[in-house]
Structure 1
Amino acid sequence: MTKIKICGLTREDDALFCADQGADFLGFIFVPSTPRFIEPERAVTIAAKVRERGEQRPKIVGVFRDASSDYIREIGNLVGLDLVQLQGSESNDQARELGLPVVKTLRVGETLPDTQCCPSADWLLFDTYDGRRAGGTGRRFEWSLLAQYERSKPFFLSGGLTPENVVAGISLVRPDAIDLASGVESEPGVKDHDKVARLFERVRRS
């Protein structure tokens, strides 16, 4: 089954509900200017509860944008991150020195960006380009552009996914994983449990 990442979590009950549904990854956003920002201390508490689920628990992903390597490592150690997602203009050298598996976000506009820009990344994540903000736009890009991707790394499909269109996205793109934030929310940072449950049901059936 396609792996599922639920991102932009800010509440313990949402994180545990997603974990119980079978999420493979849970994302915490450590970018203060975004509406889904979570204080690191709060993320520590939620991550500890998730880890109580044992070996089958979701992996904890920390999302950063143009943060220093020292800050990323500090949060990684504090929260116990399993992966780091880089949303900005971070260099390949920075990705290599972090000491954690890296998901590198690439913004897709009218054309596919350079997929060889970050050889040190373990995953790529394709999201919708928006000149005003990085991520959480709720808009999808032209999925057919990913036919050009040489699949040199496993990848997440992101950007405008919802329970209603996720099966079509998986069928067309065949991603290794999908990433949703706004598509399963009632408001930024607050997950709608009915939407989350519907998402998992539809992905399992796809």
Structure 2
Amino acid sequence: MTTRAKICGLKTEAALDVAIAAGADFVGFVHYAKSPRNVSVAEAAGLVRHTRATGSAKTVTLLVDPDDALVDRVASEIAPDFLQLHGHESPERVAELRSRSGLAIIKAVPVATSGDVTEAFAYLAPGRADILMFDARPPADPAALPGGNGLAFDWHILEGARARAPFALAGGLTPENVAAAIALTDAAIVDVSSGVESRPGDKDPERIRRFLQAAKAARA
């Protein structure tokens, strides 16, 4: 089975077109003011419409610890295929937001140990997340972003995860290492943001193409 790939943090139609043409299965739009990849609700809605007019990639809106009002706006005004929760949302909060929004949920969980991985599967209980994403823990700096920091973690801690459920892998992935990451972890989905950028927030078309090519060829 070919690994699916997500290009996250897209801000422009030009970068989005490159990702779609190169075979991205998911395209992500960040709505988080502290991120260099932040787009407004209106901009995200336009990018979702553009995606649906030009390809079949699934659309994802990334939020960090959103309140109910923001989730309501995202569901009604952006209407993505998935809501990605990248904050400190508890399993119970994930269930609330899934029910409230009516959207499928990707829950990103920062991990550093095999114990973190085991605990994360609580998010996959019925009615909670649809996809569990393992990401690197952010730096201790309070100003650090919850994701998109270009940090990898020890992929060996995922060895016990393979048999439990398909999962997504993020954190420090690049065109150069994504094939090795897939070979080691057997991830069903790989997610990249900073690894295909020329500088924070600016996607590099050639790196997007190379990442997707490497990810799709990894299981061949």
Q: By the TM > 0.5 criterion, same fold?
A: yes
Give the Cα–Cα distance (whole angstroms) in 1 for the partners of residues 6 and 68 of structure 2: 24
Give the match for residue 66 of structure 2: 67
Q: Distance in 2 between matches of 1:204 and 1:83?
A: 22
Whole-angstrom CA distance in 1 between matches of 2:94 and 2:72: 11
Residues 169-178 or 104-113, more deviating: 104-113
Instruction: Give the equivalent residue in structure 2 for 1:52.
Output: 53
Matches within 5 A, 1:156-171: 156-171=168-183
| Counterpart-to-counterpart distance in 2, 1:153 and 1:38 | 32
AA matched with 1:23:
A
Give the partner amino acid of 1:162. Answer: T
Residue 78 of structure 2 aligns with which residue? 79
Shift of 1:111: 4.1
User: Superposed, which structure 2 residues align to 1:131-142 within 5 Å?
Assistant: 131=140, 132-142=144-154
Q: Tell me by how many angstroms 1:205 deviates.
A: 2.1
Q: Shift in Å at residue 194 of structure 1? A: 0.7
Q: CA deviation at 1:188?
A: 1.9
CA-CA distance at 1:107 after TM superposition: 0.5
- 1:61 aligned counterpart, secondary structure: strand
TM-score using structure 2 length: 0.87
* AA partner of residue 106 (structure 1): V
Structure 1 segment 14-25 matched on structure 2, within 5 A:
14-25=15-26
Q: 1:186 Cα deviation (Å)? A: 0.9
Residue of structure 2 in register with 1:109 after alignment: 112
| Separation (CA, whole Å) in 2 of partners of 1:116 and 1:155 | 10
* Cα distance in 1 between the residues matched to 2:165 and 2:78: 26
- Where does 1:112-191 land on structure 2 (aligned, <5 Å)? 112-113=115-116, 114-118=119-123, 119=125, 120-130=128-138, 131=140, 132-149=144-161, 151-191=163-203
Q: Comparing 116-125 with 89-98, which one deviates more in the overlay? A: 89-98
8 Å Cα contact 2:4/2:216 also seen in 1: no
1:43–1:138 Cα change, 3 Å? same
Q: Deviations over 1:52-108 (max 9, x none)?
A: 125xx1111011111113311311221121001111121323322232111111101
The corresponding residue for 1:100 is 103
CA contact (8 A) 1:11 1:190 kept: no
Gaps of 5+ in 2: none
Residue correspondences, number: 204
Distance in 2 separating the partners of 1:125 and 1:21: 22
Change (3 A) 1:112 1:138: farther
Percent identity between matched residues is 33
CA RMSD of aligned residues (A): 1.5
